[in-house]
Each structure stands twice: as C-alpha cells, then as structure tokens.
Amino acid sequence: MKTKKQNMLRSFLIPILDNWSIDEIQKTINEINNDNKITKSEKPKSTYKKPNYTETVNKLYPSSENKELLLDIANRFENKSFLPSISDIRNFLEMRGHSSSNIKQRTESFKVVIKVIAELPDENISRIIKNNAYSGPSELGPLSDAIKQASNSIRGSEKPSEKPDSSKIETDEESNKSSFNDKDDQKS
C-alpha cells in the first residue's frame, strides 16, 4: 500500500519525466547535492576567541607600572601554579574583603582576582607570587621538608653520630652473651 507522501512524490515526478531524461534529472540532482555540501563545509566558523589571561592583563592594564608582575600572575594562573582551585580563589578573595559567593568557575574568576591584585603595592604582589597562595593539602609535603630541614639545623649538633663505630658493633655471639647477662640481671 502506497503512502500519501509516495503518491505526492509520484505526482511531482510524472511531469518531470515527461520533459527530461532520467540521466539529466540524476545529473542535476547530483549537482544540487554537491552545491549543498560545499555551502555547509565553507560556512565560516565563529572567529571570536575569549582572551587568555595574558591578553586580559594587556587589555585591562596596557601601561600599568606593575604590568610585569601582573603578567607573571597571569602566567602562573594559566599554568595553575597560582590559585589552582576554586576554593583557593574563594579564600584569596575572602581574606581581602571581597565576596566570593558569585564565583562559580576558576576560569571566569581571573578578572576579579587580577583587579584585586592590581591595587596592591608591588611588594605585596611579589609576596603573593612567592607564596603561591595555595591552601591545598598537598602543601604538607614541602612543610614537612621545611620542618625536617629546620630541625636538622637547630638540633643537628645534638644528634648522635649516624654511622655506628664499627669497633663497638657486637658480634652475634657477644650480643647473645649480653642478652643472657641482661636476663641474669633481671633475676638478681
């Protein structure tokens, strides 16, 4: 049973076939089809590109005195060595008296962060760069190293020699003897 649509197509094609050969019709269909493909592939893509962090600094502070420091911050923000997570950004803003409740994504927060930093004296910006402003748990590693290093420099002079004196190393036999003696001491 033929459908309504098929009947309609049939009614269109009958007068066409009366006037053109099948080859001509096929050739024309192919040409139309190719034209459509070209149009689709050549459709120009959107050329707008969101400025990266360095471009944002160049745009917002084209001739600022602290531009170099701000560009440094932008680079660090880009490679996530500065404020690597959204929680770091929230803390950073909160501790500088700015609301962080509207901050949802790290990428979108850069403008807010850089505006706060740009108002600071150079000395403070350098300090921020040095400290990396990172609150995450992985900082326990460097902290532990620093404690160990400081501990060695403070308590190092009191540490007993790490290499045991070979003349004082007991042989197994002597060791056994001394442990027997210990037991004897306990008995007595």
Per CB under 8 A, residues contacting another protein are 85-88, 90-91, 94-97, 100, 124, 130-137, 139, 142-143, 145-147, 149-151, 154-155
Quick one: 10 or 115, whose CB is closer to another protein?
Answer: 115
Quick one: 70 or 84, whose CB is closer to another protein?
Answer: 84
Smallest separation, CB 76 to another protein (Å): 13
Quick one: 105 or 188, whose CB is closer to another protein?
Answer: 105
Return the structure tokens found at 38: 């070209």
174/180 Cα distance (integer angstroms): 10
Smallest separation, CB 179 to another protein (Å): 34
Smallest separation, CB 80 to another protein (Å): 14
Smallest separation, CB 57 to another protein (Å): 23
Quick one: 145 or 174, whose CB is closer to another protein?
Answer: 145
Smallest separation, CB 120 to another protein (Å): 9
Quick one: 60 or 103, whose CB is closer to another protein?
Answer: 103
